[in-house]
Structure 1
Amino acid sequence: MANIQAKYNKDGKLISYRIRVFRGRDESGKQLKPYVTTFKIEPTWSAATAEKKARNFAANYERDCKEGKVTDNRQTFRSYAEYVLNEKERAGVLKKSTLARYRDLTRRIYPEIGSIKLKDLRPQHLTNFYGQLQELGSIDRTAKPKPTLSKVVDEKRLGLSAHQQIIDAVAEGKKISRELIAKCANISSSTVSLMLRGNEVKADKAEAVAVVLGYKVEQLFKIIEKNKNLSAKTINEYHGLISSILAQAEKEMLVPYNAASKAILPKIHKKEVDFYQPEQIKKIKEAFDKEQLRWRVLGYMLVYTGARRGEILGLHWTDVDLDNNQIFLRRNVLYNSKDGVYVDSLKTDSSVRVLYLPKNVMNMLVTYKQWQEEEIRRLNGYRADNGYVFATEKGEPLNPGTVASWLERVEKKNDLPHLHAHAFRHSLASTLISEHMDDTTVSKILGHSQVSTTKDIYTHIIDANKKRGAEILENIYK
């Protein structure tokens, strides 16, 4: 039953009733904020009439609350967005990488629209926000290591507030290894390697390293800030998150409609995907052939599978069918600053797939497997046999950032175009489409959930094929 509380002015005159309706409890048993409203009294009503009308109003209000017809008028977009994200995290419907990305997006969303009440949020608010994203972009902060960084590490010149594990290592006469720095700073060892070689890194990574070494970041790095236009993909990511939150609010009947569906997105020019031409792939393979066996095999897997970097790193030997030239993609290796390297399921159900590889690549895998087994025996228990095709010296999954660092080294040593793992995926797809493989098959090879996704990404190649088709018909029918 609704709780009814009379309210009086300073003269003791009844002016209204405050009505509260129990809303229930959440999954943890914590009581939710009740529904609250105010019933105002007309000056001409007697006390008895006012109370009777208030009780009738309260009964109807309680019924509307139970039927979902009443919204919490005090709830802001930020508070509701946090409720949605927390519930999705609890239910396990969001992957760690997706949740981390959403949290990152809210840093820009909340200052702009977070304080607006859910019921008051209008398409105009979102249209203005998207316009600001396009105009202001973002500040890209990187850090260039100073020579001081290498001296601090090589000469063990720790600051007073250095991480205790690093202090202990120095006290025991040990060197400050990149692995130790990475562990204490909670970043990848490949990022530390880049720093020590003098390469620019993200500013937050540099700050983490400076802290564990006991210095201010400015003492070890030069911070560089550049204005960066937000990409089409990024603006749509903001829109997608806001839209999904408001869609849930619409389902729960907290808002009459999804304001994001009526907002105006800035006109976005789609950027064509980066890919390598066949003659470039040939040179890249020649560069891979100069590398150690493990990296050579990994490079060929990037070239011939079109798989995502994490999908390749997630391969177990049980996923490799050497007799039938097949591999099975079942899991993904990822990294974030909170969890470190972790193994997750693939992006979508469609991402779980079987791929066929050329015989020469499978032969390379056979040789590599024999080498790996010999290494496990040689290390005699130091290296765990966890079954990963590509693993660290201890048998653990490789950090995805290690692949990026390796590609960068190959690129510089061989004077190649910029190498990044995803470009090999685009290259494979572009080549297959250019050779007239049907869109559905290409989509299945890539693990896209819909053929339309493949068509949308590789429109430029498909259009070129259409033009070629017209030329073929012209020659045949002339």
Structure 2
Amino acid sequence: MAVYARWFRKKLKKSSNIKRGYGFVRKLYTWGSFPLPRVIRQRKDKQGKMATVRKRGKGYEIRVYCGLGVNYGRKDKSMTWIPEPGMTPRQIEKALEKVKFQFEQEVLNGTYLNSSMTFAQFVEVWREDYAKEHLAIKTYARYEGFLKRILPALGHIKLNNLNVNHLHRFYKNLGEKGINLKTRKDKNGKPIGDAKLSPKTIYEHHRLISEILNKAVRWGMLDVNVASRATPPKVPHTEISILDDEQVKTLVAALNKEAIQHRAMILLLLYTGMRRGELCGLEWKDIDFETQMLRICRSSQYVGNRKLITKEPKTRSGIREFMLSSSACTLLKEYRQWQDEQKKLIGDEWQETDRLFTQWNGLPIYPDTVTKWFARFIERNNFPHVTLHSLRHTNASLMIAEGVDVCTVSKRLGHANTSTTLNIYTHAIPSKDTEAAERLEQALSI
């Protein structure tokens, strides 16, 4: 064997055909001149890919050649397979061949994911292969905000090492003071309040982690979603805030003292029950004043970095038409006249967009602008704590309390199912609740 080896080294120095020399040494291995190396087999497919198996301790390393990198270095992908205890050499050989073939096919087809990757690395795969294509723009932007907290805490952990304790410690950390980056600050830069995240926000972080890990399970990266075993903070039940009959009258009276553009925005929300984004997406062509019909077919949303997008409403049933009241039509005609006067005052700086509600120069208004103005209006008039979305709840509850059938209410709100309307908006208005109690007493009296 030593003679053959010395002769081959001399031959290799003289020969420029490396492949020929390599072929000769393979023949030497085949002839049994000296024992086979730790490389058990080599398998090459039609595309030139090669799978190699090496014995590594108690297991076997399977490595697939994936071509050359940018600097002409080899690009390989590998995995380790460990036989089950008690397997015979023949069983190991058969099982190893099967695992090797499956692994090579996954690499060739681009479906292989490395189980040793970190949580942050898998999140990047989740982004590219799922989130960017399937999530709504606003949902994706909100998730990215959550990931700014999740990845620094959990991103370094290997995906298959992530456990329930990691999640519980993370949830506890989210509930500590100072974690809320969006907390209002005073003139000295100090946060106003304790700057903690609410249980609902912490639960939304948990739900995102669970959604990502569900994809890891579905794609064969994990056997179980550990987030399903975790216990996030309990979200306290909060009653939806609505205005009763008297409060609505007081609200309308206060709005009549405000500027026409603000009065039109808020009263239209109250008259129709539409969402904030749908209000900001309205165009004049969506209103037929002759038939008093309003069509909702788009929604404006703010997704961060001062980016305003326009898309279809939240659900397919969100595209809808319904009739406006005479009072609403009169208000909108008055507002349109005011807007036409503003166009003349602005002159060449006005940018025509056909939107009902705009900035000073005609560009679409930001949804947060409406929300902030309404919050200041509520505080200025000492109303109970209600949000802009409370007007939608109030609209639905008023219709149901006045005997409007649920199907009509559901259609006007843009719900896909009447069950959604019943589950959310059947709040008893106190004045009607008293009336119901009195009627029941009369019906049951003997």
Which of these residues, 402, 419, 426, is aligned with residue 369 of structure 2?
402
User: CA 1:106 to 1:456, structure 2 compared with 1: closer, same or farther past 3 Å?
Assistant: farther
How many Å apart are 1:456 and its aligned residue? 4.1
State whether structure 2 residue 52 is matched by structure 1 residue 4.
Answer: yes
Task: Tell me, in whole angstroms, the C-alpha distance in 2 between the residues paired with 1:71 and 1:251.
Answer: 12
The CA RMSD over aligned residues, in Å, is 4.0
Q: In the alignment, is the contact (CA less than 8 A) between 2:200 and 2:235 conserved in 1?
A: no
State whether structure 2 residue 269 is matched by structure 1 residue 291.
Answer: no
Deviations 1:75-115 (CA, angstroms, capped at 9, x unpaired): 22222122212334542x22332112101112232244333
State whether structure 2 residue 203 is matched by structure 1 residue 236.
Answer: yes
User: CA 1:414 to 1:130, structure 2 compared with 1: closer, same or farther past 3 Å?
Assistant: closer
State whether structure 2 residue 142 is matched by structure 1 residue 101.
Answer: yes
TM-score under structure 1 length normalisation: 0.68
State whether structure 2 residue 279 is matched by structure 1 residue 312.
Answer: yes
Task: Tell me, in whole angstroms, the C-alpha distance in 2 between the residues paired with 1:302 and 1:86.
Answer: 38
User: CA 1:397 to 1:115, structure 2 compared with 1: closer, same or farther past 3 Å?
Assistant: same
State whether structure 2 residue 213 is matched by structure 1 residue 255.
Answer: no
How many Å apart are 1:382 and its aligned residue? 2.7
Deviations 1:298-351 (CA, angstroms, capped at 9, x unpaired): 121122122222210110111112122222222222224424333233222232
TM-score under structure 2 length normalisation: 0.72
Task: Tell me, in whole angstroms, the C-alpha distance in 2 between the residues paired with 1:32 and 1:108.
Answer: 33
Deviations 1:233-287 (CA, angstroms, capped at 9, x unpaired): 3233223212221222222122223333343344332111222222222222222
Task: Tell me, in whole angstroms, the C-alpha distance in 2 between the residues paired with 1:300 and 1:433.
Answer: 19
Task: Tell me, in whole angstroms, the C-alpha distance in 1 between the residues paired with 2:435 and 2:66.
Answer: 64
Task: Tell me, in whole angstroms, the C-alpha distance in 2 between the residues paired with 1:326 and 1:475.
Answer: 41
Q: In the alignment, is the contact (CA less than 8 A) between 2:141 and 2:304 conserved in 1?
A: no
Deviations 1:217-237 (CA, angstroms, capped at 9, x unpaired): xxxx43225325543432332
Amino acid corresponding to residue 18 of structure 1 in structure 2: E
Which of these residues, 79, 91, 95, is aligned with residue 36 of structure 1?
79
| Corresponding residue number in structure 1 for 2:270 | 303
Q: In the alignment, is the contact (CA less than 8 A) between 1:7 and 1:16 conserved in 2?
A: yes
Once the two structures are overlaid, the 10-residue window that deviates more, 248-257 or 95-104, is 248-257
| Corresponding residue number in structure 2 for 1:18 | 61
How many Å apart are 1:467 and its aligned residue? 9.6
User: CA 1:373 to 1:54, structure 2 compared with 1: closer, same or farther past 3 Å?
Assistant: same
User: CA 1:399 to 1:116, structure 2 compared with 1: closer, same or farther past 3 Å?
Assistant: same
SS of 2:193's equivalent in the other structure is strand
Which of these residues, 352, 370, 386, is aligned with residue 385 of structure 1?
352
SS of 1:269's equivalent in the other structure is coil
SS of 1:398's equivalent in the other structure is coil
Task: Tell me, in whole angstroms, the C-alpha distance in 2 between the residues paired with 1:467 and 1:269.
Answer: 28
Task: Tell me, in whole angstroms, the C-alpha distance in 2 between the residues paired with 1:293 and 1:77.
Answer: 52
| Corresponding residue number in structure 2 for 1:332 | 299
Amino acid corresponding to residue 102 of structure 1 in structure 2: Y
**Paired residue total:** 384
User: CA 1:293 to 1:470, structure 2 compared with 1: closer, same or farther past 3 Å?
Assistant: closer
Amino acid corresponding to residue 77 of structure 1 in structure 2: F
How many Å apart are 1:473 and its aligned residue? 4.0
| Corresponding residue number in structure 2 for 1:214 | none
SS of 2:321's equivalent in the other structure is strand
| Corresponding residue number in structure 2 for 1:57 | 96
Task: Tell me, in whole angstroms, the C-alpha distance in 2 between the residues paired with 1:134 and 1:451.
Answer: 37
How many Å apart are 1:468 and its aligned residue? 7.2
Which of these residues, 310, 327, 334, is aligned with residue 343 of structure 1?
310
Kindly name which structure, 1 or 2, has the bigger radius of gyration based on alpha carbons: 2
| Structure 2 unaligned spans of 5+ | 1-43, 45-49, 68-73
Q: In the alignment, is the contact (CA less than 8 A) between 1:4 and 1:17 conserved in 2?
A: no
State whether structure 2 residue 127 is matched by structure 1 residue 85.
Answer: yes
Q: In the alignment, is the contact (CA less than 8 A) between 1:134 and 1:266 conserved in 2?
A: no
| Structure 1 unaligned spans of 5+ | 9-13, 25-30, 146-220
**Kindly, what percent of the aligned residue pairs are identical?**
32
